[in-house]
Amino acid sequence: MREVDVLIIGAGPAGLTAAIYASRSKLDTVCIEKKVIGGQAAVTDEIENYSGFPEGISGLELSGLMKAQAERFGAEFITGGVKSIEKDGELFNAHTEKETYSAKTLVLAMGAYPQPLGCPGEEELRSRGVSYCATCDGAFFEDEVVAVVGGGNTAVEEGDYLTKFASKVYIIHRRDEFRADRAAVERAIANPKIEFVMDTVVEKIEGDGMVENLVIKNVKSGEISDLKVSGVFMFVGQSPHDECVKGLFETTNGGWLKTNDDMETSVKGVFAAGDVREKHLRQVVTAAADGAIAAMSASAYISELRGKIIPTRS
């Protein structure tokens, strides 16, 4: 069993920033990430609204810079997944497949994952034309016709990105106006490769081994029609990565972790940051802010603990 001051679960922008602030505070800091450093940000082709990068920056590059900055202050990054967490007196034990970490405080920054649409054919054709990541899979659709489902920033921005490869991109949205910000929408409107299909839902995804057709329905007229595409990208919402903490902390109905302004969860000594917690805006900049607050709150908590007798193990 390894003892640390701060254990951060998840290395997206929230976890990476928490690692910077915690390690810079001279705390023994370990960050565990089971997939890709940077989380969803790492597979975003271009981030143009993060402060300090007027020309924009790729999510992968920004994530690498954040990691390097945290490592410069002494943070350590471990590849692996946390299977379970338990409280042990004043400490928290986090069990991975290889090792157990005993931490004075935890920062939960597991992020979120794209929700499936839930229509017939989606699961059967997943990775066979059904995708949830334009940056990951866009290049497979060179000169093909594809569709994007959703009306938020992610859907509109990723639709614009897909025009680098696809000959045409349909953006299908169930309402008559977008939730995305005006700049993203205006850029998509100006793109000749994009066509908007409004007031419309996808009823079914069809194809013989690969996506070939979408059965779509206009929610106002009730008209059902076919839309021939080779791929469909889903951006209809997110759910929290709460597998290792389910049932341990107070959450909303959607499973998002509840925190106060100091990022403290319902369990003292455990903080949450980024997309895993209940919040209005899920962006790189808000995740980074959460991570900074969580780390400094964790530092204050450890200072409080140091006034007590803290259990140690031989």
For the annotated catalytic residues, the residue numbers are 133, 136-137
63/70 Cα distance (integer angstroms)? 11
- The 3 state secondary structure assigned to 115-153 is CCCCCCCCCCCECCCEECCHHHHHHHHCCCEEEEECCCH
DSSP string spanning 235-291? -S-EEE--TTTTTTS-B-TT-PBP--TT-B-SSTTEEE-GGGB--S---HHHHHHHH
Q: What Rg value do the Cα atoms of the chain yield, rounded?
A: 21
Nearest to 161 by CA among 133, 182, 125: 133
Edge to edge, what strands does the sheet with 213-218 contain? 200-206, 213-218, 224-228
Nearest to 82 by CA among 67, 107, 99: 99
Q: Is 169 exposed, middle or buried (0-12, 13-18, 19+ CB in 10 A)?
A: buried
CA atoms within 13 A on the CB side of 123: 3
Cβ neighbours of 135 (radius 10 Å): 18
Instruction: Show the tokens assigned to 92.
Output: 């928290």
CA atoms within 13 A on the CB side of 294: 34
What are the residue ranges of helices labelled H in 73-122?
Answer: none
Contacts of 182 (CB under 8 A, 6+ apart): none
Instruction: Show the tokens assigned to 257.
Output: 């972790």
What is the DSSP secondary structure assignment for residue 47, as one 8-state letter? B
